[in-house]
Chains A and B, each alone.
Chain A
Amino acid sequence: MFAKEMLKQSLPLLILCGIGGVVAGSTLGVMTDLLENIPGLIVIIPAVIAMRGNISTTFGSRLGSAYHLGIINAEHIWNEELKQNVIGSLVLSFLVSITIGILAYVTTIVFFDISPNPVKIIIIVLIAGVISGAILTMLTIVIIFAVFKRGYDPDNITGPALATFGDIITMLSIFGSAIIVEVIL
């Protein structure tokens, strides 16, 4: 009884999120040349994906709570409370991205004989972190807005939606910024 309900409600979402993971993984599969040419690039990938997941899901669940508390609603979505949340998420993305870049460089030198180009690694993380942060923040607001209009509970939607799209957008951002940095530097 109990198990049946859990399977029925969670399994489709799990598989859907997994398909998001397959797309993210395929992006990684296309990046093999870049991974070979930029030592240290593979090191940052789990950290950037985790940072993105953490920041955007807490952003989404705070907006969900704000909705239940009546602080934001469909008519007044873009108010000062939302602005503070957006700024907070973007500042966190910026600070944590720089930290990832520096720590990835230092730990790679300590653990391996290869020394990655620190400027390259830090700039790749920074561009990928901030761009994916901006896209996912906007996407979250759009999803929340659409969910409000239909009168659904945002808590049931934002989590799985961000889990599915978050990894794909983050991987594509890393891919894009690695190409840009490889061409320019």
Chain B
Amino acid sequence: MIYSWKKIVRYGLPLLTLCILIELFAGQILQSGQNALLKIPIYLISIPVINGVGGNIGCILGARLASGLHVGYINLDIRDKKMHENFLTSLLMGIITYAVLAILIYYIALFSRITMSIGLIEFVFVLLVVGTLLICVVTVISIFTAFLSFKYGKDPDDFIAPVVTTIGDSLGIIFLFLLIGVA
């Protein structure tokens, strides 16, 4: 037998505990802005979207870099052209995705009669700025995690997803609060 539940728990627990510590920090930031969020619920609805898209893009980029490094078509070099191309495509995909979802969120909020004191253009603008900032940081973290873990002989696939999603969750909330002037 290959798998045993005790091993799964023993290997999973330390990294998960570290992740939830950082996530609880994100939760405390949310708590500090809770009153403002409850007054403008459209931003409350946006939080899982902002964090989800940021994390997914970081993970896609990370998985591609990991495969590229393993196979050898990406070099451990900050000036690597293929890496730059991947970075720019991630940024482009992120902007398109945030724009589409921002419009969707706005109309869902409009139709479910959620109190709004904000226009479509302003809301899409806020989400695009937060999203672009988040993707820039998340992709840089993803590149560094991939390169560093590969350099020290570890498999990047084991590190990228937890690192990128955990740090991304806190930063997504911080960027949103900075932009809408909460906290």
Contact = CB atoms under 8 A, between A and B. Distances in A.
Interface residues of A, number: 63
Interface of B: prevailing SS: helix
B31 A108 contact: yes
A95 B57 CA distance: 29
Given A14-B53, A42-B27, A112-B31, A92 B92 contact: no
A50 interface: yes
Interface string A88-112: 1101100110011001100110011
B20 A29 contact: no
Contacts of A24: 48, 52
Interface in B97-145: 97, 100-101, 104-105, 108-109, 112, 114
A150 B144 CA distance: 38
Interface residues of B, number: 66
B114 to A, nearest CB: 6
B30 interface: yes
Interface stretch (A52-60, A132-140, A176-184): A52-60
11 contacts: A10-B60, A14-B60, A19-B104, A32-B44, A43-B24, A43-B31, A51-B20, A71-B2, A99-B20, A103-B21, A104-B27
Interface of A: 2-3, 6-7, 10-11, 14-15, 17-22, 24-26, 28-29, 32, 35-36, 40, 42-47, 49-51, 53-55, 57-58, 62, 66, 69, 71, 80-81, 84-85, 87-89, 91-92, 95-96, 99-100, 103-104, 107-108, 111-112, 163, 167, 171
